[in-house]
A = this chain, B = another copy of it.
Amino acid sequence: MMKELLLAIAFTVISATAALAAGDLPGQAATTNVPGSDYPRVLPDRRAIFQLKAPEAHSVAVEIYGQTYAMAKGDDGVWSVTTPPLVVGFHFYSLILDGVHVNDPGSRTFYGTGIDSSGIEVPETGVDYYHKQDVPHGDVRIRLYHSKVTGKWRRAFVYTPPGYDDHPNRRYPVLYLQHGSNEDETGWTFQGHANLILDNLIAEKKAVPMIIVMDNCYAMRPGDVGQDPQIESPLRPNFPAFEAVMLQDVIPMIDATFRTIPDRDHRAIAGLSMGSNEALRVGTGNLDKFAYIGGFSGGMNGLHTDPLDPATAFGGRFKDGAAFNAKVKLLWLGMGTAEPKPFPAAIGAFRKMLDDAGIRYVFFSSPGTAHEWLTWRRDLHAFAPRLFK
């Protein structure tokens, strides 16, 4: 029974390989495809070609970057479409097959939007800071740990920089780096390429060697329901215990396991979107533990755009700007210029409050990118060189 299945797969792969060898296909198979898959493809002008063999289907479309493109059926039962030029970077996408959002079998999957979703990388010409290069590479360790706070086993991805194993007496600073809503601890490695970004920065001596801890932001105590009232995300409402997990479980585990420099001057926290809210909240609420704090595409006010008064907002922790500035070595906010509502107004309201309080921060703007991974790769690439110096 399984043999037939395996042989069917074999013939599929062999015929795909033969087509590739013929060299008659335009552009390049996306780097995000499964091995041997010729589709989707990206053309030199950033148009993409999507295909699906579906002889019995009534309609097939691709949904990417907020747009839906209908696919046309060929005589061979293969549906296809060539999109307009796409924005560079990594995009989640779906095929819509007779009304159902499904993955493209030609694509690798990446956990985001709450599912293991298809994704496509549209190359940026002349940019290689998040590519594998001929430099020393750190490891990303998949680490299990038991949380006293949640009572469950949890998983962190931990980047150790090149040379970590070769210098058993050397100690390192640590960046705690959070994912966004409906993502998990894998995102910064598999979509964000945080490890490659740091490998390249360290090789260029633009960033100091550091450990990066990528944990899962979702955390509930036994019996917890609902969401953190300080963040009010409309998304998966189950991270009320994140701060406790970070302070009581993760940081002590990391400091006990890895050769860290366990003080605030050598500890940073950052995150993206929902993770930005969490990083800013945990960071600014625990200035005895963190000296560097970064928010990528998010403030501390969730999706709210109302004005914030530094005297009262967030328990008044921003009201004394001079005291805040004296303690915090770096406060960083970033976003893409193409981010959709309500992010510009929400982040704008948060920045206005910081400005009103006289708080210093770096604002980073990513040209042409939306609420997506390329914005956050660019954030990390610009943020990491400012840490621990």
Contacts and interface: CB of A to CB of B under 8 A. Distances in A.
Contact of A146 (B54, B134, B143): B134
A342 B3 contact: yes
Given A34-B114, A98-B58, A100-B54, A66 B134 contact: no
A340 B1 CA distance: 7
Given A10-B235, A56-B58, 20 more contacts: A1-B65, A2-B371, A6-B234, A6-B235, A7-B234, A12-B114, A13-B236, A53-B100, A55-B99, A56-B98, A56-B99, A57-B100, A58-B98, A102-B103, A108-B116, A109-B116, A116-B116, A139-B141, A140-B141, A141-B142
A98 B4 CA distance: 21
A100 B97 contact: yes
Nearest to A370: B2
Q: What bracket does the count of chain A residues touching chain B fall in?
A: 35 or more
Interface string A17-45: 10001000000000000111000000000
A158 B142 CA distance: 10
Contacts of A144: 132, 137
Nearest to A34: B115
Nearest to A113: B9
Given A2-B340, A57-B100, A370-B2, A114 B234 contact: no
A34 to B, nearest CB: 5
A165 B56 CA distance: 56
Contacts of A182: 6, 9, 13
A139 B160 CA distance: 12
Given A57-B99, A139-B141, A5 B66 contact: yes
A312 B326 CA distance: 80
Interface of A: 1-7, 9-10, 12-14, 17, 21, 34-36, 52-58, 65-67, 97-103, 105, 107-109, 111, 113-116, 132, 134, 137, 139-146, 153, 158, 165, 168, 181-182, 184, 189, 195, 218, 225, 234-237, 257-258, 340-342, 370-371
